[in-house]
């Protein structure tokens, strides 16, 4: 990590899962974990890692989840608004370092995205 960087989240991904990364500005990217060209690969302790999502100016990562098949996630904003998102329908797999897709249009009324969490049930 570089000076000023902070760790947003750590998780263990199982084979066959994808990684969803969400930003404060309402963007998200779904990255295949098992694809050596598009996904994440094992690295040594001294490696600095790879970029998961390209951030807009003043944007930052607020969370990440491991995703299997068509999991649902809840996207929560600073003012208490939430949106349930079907990852199988609302996302396409992308390579790491992409801009992602809009999950939620951030607006003053709802505030910035503060969290993303996997949900089950209806």
User: Which residue has tokens 């066959």?
Assistant: 16
Give the per-residue pLDDT at 52. Answer: 84
Helix (H) or strand (E) holding 88: helix 87-90
Q: Above 80 in pLDDT, residue 49?
A: no
Q: Above 70 in pLDDT, residue 122?
A: no
Q: Above 80 in pLDDT, residue 50?
A: no
Nearest to 90 by CA among 23, 35, 25, 20: 20
pLDDT tens string 77-119? 999 999 999 888 878 888 888 888 999 887 889 999 999 999 9
Residues 6+ apart with CB under 8 A from 49: 43
Delineate the domains of the chain, giving CATH numbers in brackets: 18-119 (2.120.10.90)
Among 12-21, 30-39, 43-52, the range with the most confident prediction by mean pLDDT is: 12-21
Give the global pTM: 0.84
The percentage of residues in the chain with a pLDDT greater than 90, rounded to a whole number, is 39
For residues 57-83, give the mean pLDDT: 91
């Amino acid at each position: 990590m570089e000076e000023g960087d902070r760790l947003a989240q750590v998780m263990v991904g199982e084979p066959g899962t994808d990684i969803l990364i969400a930003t404060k500005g309402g963007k998200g990217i779904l990255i295949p974990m098992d694809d050596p060209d598009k996904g994440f690969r094992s690295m040594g302790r001294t490696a600095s890692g790879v970029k998961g999502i390209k951030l807009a100016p003043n944007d930052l990562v607020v969370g990440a989840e491991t995703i299997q098949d068509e999991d649902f996630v809840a996207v929560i904003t600073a003012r208490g608004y939430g949106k349930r998102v079907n990852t199988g329908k609302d996302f396409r797999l992308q390579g790491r370092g992409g801009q992602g897709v809009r999950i939620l249009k951030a607006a003053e009324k709802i505030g910035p995205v503060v969290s993303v969490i996997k949900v089950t049930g209806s």
